[in-house]
Amino acid sequence: MRANQKGLDNHQAGFGGVGILVSVLLHALLLVAVLCGWESSEEPQKRRVTPKYVQAKLVEVKPKSKPKPAAKPKQKIIDLTKKRKEAERRKRLEQEKAKKLAREKAEKDRKAKAAREKAAKDKAAREKAAREKAAREKAAKEKAEQVAREQELQRQIDQEMQAEREALLAEQQAEEDQMVAQSFIGLIAQRVENNWSRPASARKGMQVELRIQLVPTGRVINVTVVKSSGNAAFDRSAEQAVKKAEQFPELKKLPPAVFERNFRQLRLVFNPKDLRL
């Protein structure tokens, strides 16, 4: 519609321009004629010329009637309007679709970023928990090892102290047992000596070593010569003295360990001067 209107305006302007041009040309011809007549009047009048006047008449050129624009079918206008509206609708839909896609992409990116951040946070939390657990386990292990070392050291100290106490007690007990044993040995030796009748052949320097086998009741069960004096009568006299004593009931009072260590097999040495171990 606007294009048609513009064409009509240009057409009208063209006709107006032609009319003006014709009017200007007519005025120019009239001016030339006047000037020519003026020059003729100044010359000597040799002959009288009847001036001829040009009669000019302004002719108004009427512009041609504007051609009427061809009427377009209403259906075409309706179609253009529909196309414009359809194009606007499609553009609007495309814009809405683009906005929707942009929103969806932004939401997807946001969710992806949130998922990455959550995954990183969860990973960091797991790693931190693992480190803390490892640190706790390491500390607990070190503490347990320290406690075990301290307990072992204390056990060794206690054991050493116990061993020292036991050794001291054993030493004391051994000394006491030895004293007891010596007292009982002295008792046995004294009783055997009281029963010993030295033979006439006994001489200074003679000695015989006997092994006396006893039982916890103190009874003598056997007497043997371990080392002879070289004099059979001297050796037999010593044996007879032990056998005559027969039993030493005091040995019943001895602890079993003391008896076993000192009296299960007792050795005695006999000589003409004294009786000793």
Q: What mean pLDDT is reported for the chain?
A: 80
Is the pLDDT assigned to residue 44 strictly greater than 50?
no
Q: Distances in Å between the alpha carbon of 253 and those of 100, 188, 199?
A: 114, 14, 35
Residue 146 identity: Q
Mark 225-259 as b/e (b = at least 16 C-beta within 10 Å).
eeeebeeeebbebbbebbeebeebeebeebeeebb
Higher pLDDT, 201 or 12: 201
**Closest to 235 (Cα-Cα) out of 184, 272, 194, 274:** 272
Give the sheet arrangement for strand 265-270, strand by strand.
220-227, 208-214, 265-270, 275-276
**Mean pLDDT: which of 32-36, 61-65, 120-124, 193-197 is highest?**
120-124
Query: If you average pLDDT over residues 64-93, what whole number do you get?
Result: 77
The alpha helices in the chain, defined as continuous H runs, are 2-42, 74-195, 232-245, 256-262
Query: pLDDT tens across 143-197, in order?
Result: 999 999 999 999 999 999 989 888 988 888 888 888 888 888 888 888 888 888 8
Q: Residues 6 or more apart from 198 whose CB is under 8 A from it?
A: 234, 237, 272
Provide the pLDDT for residue 124. Answer: 95
Query: If you average pLDDT over residues 28-39, what whole number do you get?
Result: 60
- Whether 266 and 212 have beta carbons less than 8 Å apart is answered as yes
Higher pLDDT, 62 or 46: 62
Query: pLDDT tens across 107-120, in order?
Result: 999 999 999 999 99
Pick the range with the lowest mean pLDDT from 32-46, 59-73, 221-235.
32-46
Which residues on adjacent β-strands are paired with residue 225?
210
Query: pLDDT tens across 245-274, in order?
Result: 888 898 888 888 889 988 899 998 888 665
Q: Residues 6 or more apart from 146 whose CB is under 8 A from it?
A: none
Is the pLDDT assigned to residue 56 strictly greater than 60?
no
Query: pLDDT tens across 234-246, in order?
Result: 999 999 999 988 8
- pTM strictly above 0.85: no
Is the pLDDT assigned to residue 50 strictly greater than 50?
yes
Please give the CATH architecture assigned to the domain spanning 179-270: 2-Layer Sandwich (3.30)
